[in-house]
A and B are shown apart, each in its own frame.
Chain A
Amino acid sequence: MQRIGVFVCHCGTNIAATVDVKAVAEALKSEPGVVFSTDYQYMCSQAGQDIIKNAIAEHKLTGIVVCSCSPRMHENTFRKTAAAAGLNSYMVEIANIREQCSWVHKDMPTGTEKAIILGKAAVAKVSLNAPLTPGESPVTKRALVIGGGIAGIQTALDIADAGFPVDIVETKPTIGGKMAQLDKTFPTLDCAACILTPKMVEVAQNENIRIFSYSEVTDIKGFVGNFDVTIKRRARYVKEDLCTGCGACTEKCPQKKVPNEFNLGMDNRRAIYIPFAQAVPKVATIDPNYCTMLKTGKCGVCSKVCTAGAIDYQAKDEFVEEKYGAIVAATGFNPISMDKFDEFAYSQSPDVVTSLEFERLMNAAGPTAGTLLRPSDHEHPHTIVFVQCVGSRCSSCAEKGKEYCSKICCMYTAKHAMLTRDKYPDTDVYVFYIDVRTPGKAFDEFYRRAVEDYGVHYIKGMVGKVVPEGKKLKVQASDLLANKQLHIDADLVVLAAAIEPDKSARPLATMLTASMDTNDFFTEAHPKLRPVESPTAGVFLSGTCQGPKDIPETVSQAGAAASKVIGLLSKDKLTGNPCVAHSDENMCNGCSTCANVCPYGAITYQDKEFRMPDRTTKMRRIAVVNEAVCQGCGCCTVACMSGAMDLKGFMNKQIMAEVDAICK
């Protein structure tokens, strides 16, 4: 049985005006366990806290109840007060008699009566409280960044700069991601490569960063501070440490007909290839699907031309196991498939391209070496139609598109239109849009320049159909403002395809026990207040894996994620929330229901030997809660039929005692 002290706060007149605080203190005196009860002007003041501290010492209190403002306000204050007086800080309960009593009820008798009941409930609860000590776990001071795009790069650089080792895992042979494929970037029109490649080089040169390119994460175990990750390094048949990136092999390789994914299949590469000139690591990779040597055992040209002796046809996938303290998901995005958008004739005409393909067509390192030419006949297009929101904001066509706004399309389309008009003033450029959304720094100015200075024809309306006819693309559209049907004979149609999270995100989320939304974007721990953290402790979100965003946003989020990681890694030990679930092994029947509902994957099972009453032993499966992972929601406690699972700080008994006290 506890020795409980009750402290009733006047909060000036905030409480005292509608609650007879002295009556409350007096009434609670006769509650079981209460050995001291008093009231004071401002309990949260230094003097008020001293009253509490003195009472704890004088009356040997084992628990205290503060009747005051909301626990969301001062629970921590009073917990610290208790701790300072040598009382476990979880032996404190707050009765909220301000926000939920004095402020919402008008007359004194009502307020007083309710305050007494709330006080009784808090007394009932605290008399069942047990001292809680937050658990501690060590932190592995190494971070893993999954994805080597600009998000991953920035996160890794920031973490590395703070002095912590970071590993980047990238599925492609090079880091760089989507940004490496871009031509210019809005709204400043910097060349993407010019600002990205120095960062890529920085990554390569940073001693704290290791790059696992052409690799993927296959297994993640453990929890915040202590992840065990298995990384599969796919065989690239070229020894990374020996390859100098001279490119001799990629020139001599007889297999020339491999679609070049970097240029989105608009030109070809060899079976052994370096994705692009500034690739990091600048190492060749053999594509086993096309390499004659690997497929038939006959060829070996690259091996012959490689002076470094880096070619290794016998290479096998390797698995690396590594420990990390934090994991950053930066898996990025892809434009959605245009397969289902037959109305735009994407699959029928090569001259209907996606915006990303258009980037490559504009890029000096692209298939057309920077000259804007139609893919079909390499002629210069004179009329270009841009179609926005292809698959975005598709509330009625969810089966082929996405319900959300892809966010970046308005701006890159303006960029494309502007650049086209800038380079080729003879070209007519039409942009069909639903809305133009430009809420960013210098964004709207940029868009207006496109319209006003560059004479891009912005038409509010949707393109209904694109029909290839001879060399032309017949575009049927509606102009909603003029309320008329338009027919445009275009030479090139550019589709601003919606973006979606990379396909690797879903399996990754499963491995991380991180939650995702229905669109497979990672869910943040809190949409406003914790936007770069996953609800799963130790997992952070960087870039478009969390939601559509442009480069500056991505970079700032990447930095934010990095700072969270740095904050985590700079701790030697993690102190958990002690209000976590706990399973009584004597009652647990191992049914796994609790694990099914745990959002954090905090519950695992083990077989344990029990001594039975008849002196035999029995192996039983029991649930074990990883306290470092559990966030204390209590979902498992209700799923548990036997009541073996309980939540510290909010035990079944405590809540029922509160209910009992309220209903007394």
Chain B
Amino acid sequence: MSIINDSLIPVIGVVTDIRIDTPDVKTFRVVTPDGKKAFDHKPGQCAMLSIPGVGEAMFSITSSPTNTEFMEFSIKKCGCLTQWLHAMEVGQQITIRGPYGNAFPVDTEFVGKDMLFIAGGIGLAPLRSVINYCRHYRDKYGKIDIVYGSRSMEDLVDYKEIIDEWVKDDGIDVHLTIDREQPEWTGHVGFVPNYVKELGFDTNKTAILCGPPIMIKFTLAGLQEIGFDKTQVYTTMELRMKCGIGKCGRCNIGSKYVCKDGPVFRCDQVDELPDEY
């Protein structure tokens, strides 16, 4: 008699810190009960988090792989599980398994490139891991531009880190925007796709897009308008997942499984997939 070890069986994670980012986004710091990082991952990869009896779901790991102490997850309250996660207090145990999915080609295609990160709302969560990875290995990449927008100032995820760290870095330009005017806001106002066009980047860049589908659609069109090719643009996707390992059969778009073959896709690859998303 022996115990079955399987990738479907999670390990225990302890929530050691909870940061309230926006009214509906919290960032959770997770380590194993002995205080270590649960597993290593690459930027863009995801993990399955669960509260037993409530459910299990896939979340992108928002902390950078270069952080060897813990993992972080920025989670927006939108369903049953996330509601429970939001109700957690520090010290609460959850279960975690992963890492799942492919990753951004940070050590191959991205090397030496100028990077343009474009995110909307909670879409910053999967990009934060890449951005911080790039910041950590700053010399491997060219100039970094970050365009990030949200509904309002309060809805900007990781605002503190952006202001305190990213903005201060050399060679990083952060362009923030919010959808509607606000008294305390002195920055840009307007939707992300338009802002990208306004900013008018030179096309010798690799762009990474993440946000609500409608934002992705229009920003991609905008990028193409200013001369980007789809092969230069990456995005990440999200579908209902159960196993995380390409077996349970529900997250496919055509023959590709988002959990295994994704979630990172180059936009020209997305075009090859049937229109099911």
Contacts and interface: CB of A to CB of B under 8 A. Distances in A.
A1 B84 CA distance: 6
A1 B87 CA distance: 6
A1 B54 CA distance: 11
Interface in A245-300: none
B68 interface: no
Interface string A1-19: 1000000000000000000
Contacts of B83: 1
Interface residues of A, number: 1
Interface in B85-118: 87
A1 B83 CA distance: 8
Contacts of A1: 83-84, 87
Interface in A1-54: 1
Nearest to A1: B87
Contacts of B84: 1
Interface size class of B (residues with CB under 8 A): under 10
A578 to B, nearest CB: 23
B54 to A, nearest CB: 10
Nearest to B86: A1
Contacts, number: 3
Interface in B38-94: 83-84, 87
A1 B53 CA distance: 13
Interface string B182-206: 0000000000000000000000000
Nearest to A33: B87
B247 to A, nearest CB: 26
A82 B255 CA distance: 57
Nearest to B88: A1
Contacts of B87: 1
B18 to A, nearest CB: 13
Nearest to B54: A1
A203 B147 CA distance: 81
A318 B139 CA distance: 93
A1 B77 CA distance: 13
A545 B191 CA distance: 70
Nearest to A32: B53
B82 to A, nearest CB: 12
Nearest to B53: A32
A624 B87 CA distance: 33
B273 to A, nearest CB: 20
Nearest to B84: A1
Interface string B214-238: 0000000000000000000000000
B84 to A, nearest CB: 6
A4 to B, nearest CB: 12
A1 B88 CA distance: 8
A1 B81 CA distance: 11
Nearest to A35: B89
B49 to A, nearest CB: 16
Nearest to A2: B87
Interface string A352-379: 0000000000000000000000000000
A263 to B, nearest CB: 76
B91 to A, nearest CB: 12
A1 to B, nearest CB: 3
A297 to B, nearest CB: 78
A239 B84 CA distance: 73
B250 to A, nearest CB: 16
A1 B51 CA distance: 13
B220 to A, nearest CB: 22
A202 B62 CA distance: 83
A443 to B, nearest CB: 68
A541 B146 CA distance: 75
A18 B49 CA distance: 44
A58 to B, nearest CB: 16
A34 to B, nearest CB: 12
B93 to A, nearest CB: 13
A214 B87 CA distance: 67
A30 to B, nearest CB: 13
A536 B216 CA distance: 57
Interface in B155-198: none
B85 to A, nearest CB: 10
A273 to B, nearest CB: 75
A128 to B, nearest CB: 13
B173 to A, nearest CB: 40
Interface string A462-477: 0000000000000000
Nearest to A3: B87
A36 to B, nearest CB: 13
Nearest to B87: A1
A13 B87 CA distance: 38
Nearest to B89: A35
B146 to A, nearest CB: 35
A474 to B, nearest CB: 86
A1 B85 CA distance: 9
A609 to B, nearest CB: 24
Nearest to A62: B87
B28 to A, nearest CB: 15
Nearest to B83: A1
Interface in B129-166: none
B245 to A, nearest CB: 28
B83 to A, nearest CB: 7
A55 B96 CA distance: 34
B95 to A, nearest CB: 16
B90 to A, nearest CB: 13
A252 B38 CA distance: 109
A9 B84 CA distance: 31
A1 B86 CA distance: 9
A534 to B, nearest CB: 43
B78 to A, nearest CB: 16
A59 to B, nearest CB: 12
Nearest to B85: A1
A127 to B, nearest CB: 10
Query: Which 3 pairs show the lowest CB-CB distances between chains A and B?
Result: A1-B87, A1-B84, A1-B83
3 contacts: A1-B83, A1-B84, A1-B87
